[in-house]
Chains A and B, each alone.
Chain A
Amino acid sequence: MSAVARWENEGGAVAAGHDLRGLNFLAKMKVQLLKLAHARSGDKGDTANVGLIALRDEFYPVLVREVTAERVKQHFRGICHGEVERFELPNLNALNFLLHESLGGGGTLSLMTDAQGKTFSTALLRMEIDLDAAEARSLGIEEQVSGDR
């Protein structure tokens, strides 16, 4: 596992992992999007699109609140060289992101293994968000959810 803070929730009590910095460590836990959403991505020229879909309906408001265009741009730093746009699809409990200037020129111009942006979906699912332990509990996210790397 990573050196990132790891909080384990055991029997309703929040126990600290090995990083004790920060005063609110009892109240927050890191949740990886992989536990909250599934996704599919594709390309339009040099733009990658990532559709992020809540695994359960009650996760959607959390995605809307936490997975902002700014956060996604930050997450894909060094990969996405342009703007990130976000669109909401409450009817599908999904968000659609457009990551401009991300595919090495796109299409046949690109030298990338993933010139079509097919794996941007899982790259986004690596993102971690901070949730209040109480909220996480109410959403039924019980176990440690920070992904091992």
Chain B
Amino acid sequence: MREKIRVASGQGFWGDLLDAPVRQVEGGRIDYLMLDYLAEVTMSIMQKQRARDPSAGYARDFVPLMREILPACVERDIRVSANAGGVNPPACAEAVGDAARELGLAGRLKIGIVTGDDIMDRLDDFLARGIELRNMDTNEPLSSVRDKIQSANVYLGAQPIVEALRGGARVVITGRATDTGLTLAPLIHEFGWRADDWDKLSAGTIAGHIIECGAQASGGNCQYDWQSIPDLANVGFPIVEAAPDGTFVVTKHEGTGGRINIPAIKEQLVYEMGDPHEYITPDCVADFTSIQLADDGRDRVRVYGIKGKPATEFYKVSISYSAGFKAVGTLVYSWPQAYDKARAADRILRARLERLGLKFDEILTEFVGANATHGALAGDPSGDAPEVQLRVGVRGSDRADVERFTKEIAPLILTGPPGVTGFAGGRPKVEEIVAYWPALIPKREITPRVEVREV
């Protein structure tokens, strides 16, 4: 067994710095690279792409990235875990395999594919058998949006990834897998942690939570002493240096920017936290109130003492459904009385929408520069504000009404208050809303599948 395993985070979300994973591979020693590509609504976009083209439906950026780093991964024995497979992990694996062969790596690596998360075709069967998939937030049964569903995937945990690693996979491509599982799986595999060693599984899960948002653990979006955080232009993404006993150090490569210290790690620990006693994943229930932090030198924080509880009998399900349309329009009003002008424009716009008889579920007006982030807590806007942006959003079930709204913004320039500008971008776009429906499903209903292919 190795004494220490270094797992590096390469993407905090799909759309993060493109060169971050390359820098993790090139910037120093790592053993694993974990890449999180899937936001909640990403699956529905991929589902649509696959409907048009059976070889699509995964994170396409992943393939050129692999083309760039695969030779180094093979040479330096770095393995990759990524949920880049979206709704089509086999096609993603095929594309990565093609890239590997073009690089002359045929016979030199295996690709692991994790599937079984996609339950889109089984929904009616579940509903017929009384598995209601009620919304965890609103408690509504899924039947209320059944005809609008666009994708349905279970969040799989670390174990299927571990199985692929055991099968010798250099690159493991999953569909909907938890972000934390991508980090935990390498640790289970390397250290042989038992599937019921809840403390260690929780430690690996919390390690995953810390690095899954990329540089948000290494100085990005960090409030604590933010002005003094060095060289964010060259920010180093976080790396977990884990030991077999479940303790780990969060660090980053030498010579990179950003900062890893206790306040930065605390900020990331509380990010998107619910009940800290029960951080529920498919693998365990981690207790964030057990986490101990210690300074371990420059850009190194030691994490230890983590306790956990048995995993629950359920998987979380991520369902996306079509929920109408929205559009947001903006205009900028200038000094003097910028805020008053923006407010007057809003009243005029709303009167016109009313007269047109347009039906919306919601109209929201914000005044950027006055109250868009902190609402009334920001106090009364100054009459001297150099400019205020009027930002009006509408949401409704009728596309035509939302479309009509987008044509009412520009006319305000010639038919409303003076000192207005900021319409160079043209009419706002109508967006289809794909909403998220969280639910639970008994684990016994789901069978993760693992395949390891030789390239």
> What per-residue 1/0 map shows which CB atoms of A19-57 lie under 8 Å from chain B?
000000000000000000011111111110101110100
What is the minimal beta-carbon distance from B397 to any residue of chain A, in angstroms? Answer: 12
Q: Is the interface of B mostly helix, strand, loop or mixed?
A: mixed
Task: Pick the contact of A96: B273, B292, B373 (CB < 8 A).
Answer: B273
> Which stretch in B72-80, B88-96, B181-189, B429-437 binds the other chain?
B429-437
Tell me whether A121 and B292 are in contact (CB under 8 A): no
Tell me whether A51 and B293 are in contact (CB under 8 A): no
Tell me whether A126 and B272 are in contact (CB under 8 A): no
Given contacts A53-B270, A94-B266, A113-B372, contact A107 B436 (CB under 8 A): yes
Tell me whether B41 and A108 are in contact (CB under 8 A): yes
**A90 at interface by CB-CB < 8 Å:** yes
Task: Pick the contact of A149: B288, B293, B326, B379 (CB < 8 A).
Answer: B379
Task: Pick the contact of B137: A39, A46, A76 (CB < 8 A).
Answer: A46
Tell me whether B435 and A40 are in contact (CB under 8 A): no
Bound-complex Cα distance A49 to B267 (A): 12
Residues in B neighbouring A76, C-beta threshold 8 A: 377
On A, residues with C-beta under 8 Å from B are 2, 38-47, 49, 51-53, 55, 75-76, 78-79, 87-92, 94, 96, 98, 104-109, 111-114, 119, 121-123, 126, 149
Residues in A neighbouring B274, C-beta threshold 8 A: 44, 49, 96, 98
> What per-residue 1/0 map shows which CB atoms of B371-401 lie under 8 Å from chain A?
0111111110000000000010111000000
Task: Pick the contact of A53: B266, B275, B290, B366 (CB < 8 A).
Answer: B266
Q: Is the interface of A mostly helix, strand, loop or mixed?
A: mixed
**B268 at interface by CB-CB < 8 Å:** yes
Name which residue of chain B comes closest to A42, CB basis: B272
Tell me whether A89 and B276 are in contact (CB under 8 A): yes
Bound-complex Cα distance A122 to B267 (A): 13
What is the minimal beta-carbon distance from B25 to any residue of chain A, in angstroms? Answer: 28
Residues in A neighbouring B143, C-beta threshold 8 A: none
Q: Which 6 A-B pairs have the closest CB atoms?
A: A51-B270, A111-B393, A42-B272, A111-B364, A119-B373, A40-B267
Residues in B neighbouring A106, C-beta threshold 8 A: 137
What is the minimal beta-carbon distance from A127 to any residue of chain B, in angstroms? Answer: 9
Name which residue of chain A comes closest to B221, CB basis: A40
Tell me whether A112 and B366 are in contact (CB under 8 A): yes
Q: Number of B interface residues at 8 Å Cβ cutoff, please give it.
A: 50
Residues in B neighbouring A46, C-beta threshold 8 A: 137
Tell me whether A45 and B438 are in contact (CB under 8 A): yes
Task: Pick the contact of A108: B276, B375, B434 (CB < 8 A).
Answer: B434
What is the minimal beta-carbon distance from B318 to any residue of chain A, in angstroms? Answer: 11
Tell me whether A53 and B263 are in contact (CB under 8 A): yes
Given contacts A40-B221, A46-B137, A96-B273, contact A79 B375 (CB under 8 A): yes
CB within 8 Å of A: which B254-286 residues: 263, 266-277
Residues in A neighbouring B276, C-beta threshold 8 A: 87, 89, 96
Bound-complex Cα distance A149 to B293 (A): 36
> What per-residue 1/0 map shows which CB atoms of B414-440 lie under 8 Å from chain A?
000000000000000000011110100
Tell me whether A113 and B391 are in contact (CB under 8 A): yes
Tell me whether A91 and B272 are in contact (CB under 8 A): no
Tell me whether A49 and B273 are in contact (CB under 8 A): yes
Bound-complex Cα distance A117 to B231 (A): 27
Tell me whether B291 and A92 are in contact (CB under 8 A): yes
Tell me whether A111 and B273 are in contact (CB under 8 A): no
Tell me whether B372 and A109 are in contact (CB under 8 A): no
Residues in B neighbouring A43, C-beta threshold 8 A: 272
Tell me whether B289 and A113 are in contact (CB under 8 A): no
Tell me whether A107 and B395 are in contact (CB under 8 A): no
Q: Given A38-B223, A42-B273, A79-B377, 11 more contacts at CB 8 Å?
A: A38-B224, A39-B267, A42-B272, A47-B137, A87-B275, A87-B276, A89-B288, A108-B323, A111-B393, A113-B366, A113-B373
Name which residue of chain B comes closest to A39, CB basis: B223
Residues in A neighbouring B177, C-beta threshold 8 A: none
**B40 at interface by CB-CB < 8 Å:** yes
Given contacts A87-B276, A96-B270, A123-B373, contact A107 B291 (CB under 8 A): no
In this complex, the member of A49, A108, A113 whose beta carbon has the largest number of chain B beta carbons within 10 angstroms is: A108
Tell me whether B364 and A112 are in contact (CB under 8 A): yes
Name which residue of chain A comes closest to B362, CB basis: A111
Residues in B neighbouring A109, C-beta threshold 8 A: 323, 395, 433, 435
Given contacts A45-B438, A53-B263, A98-B274, contact A92 B375 (CB under 8 A): no
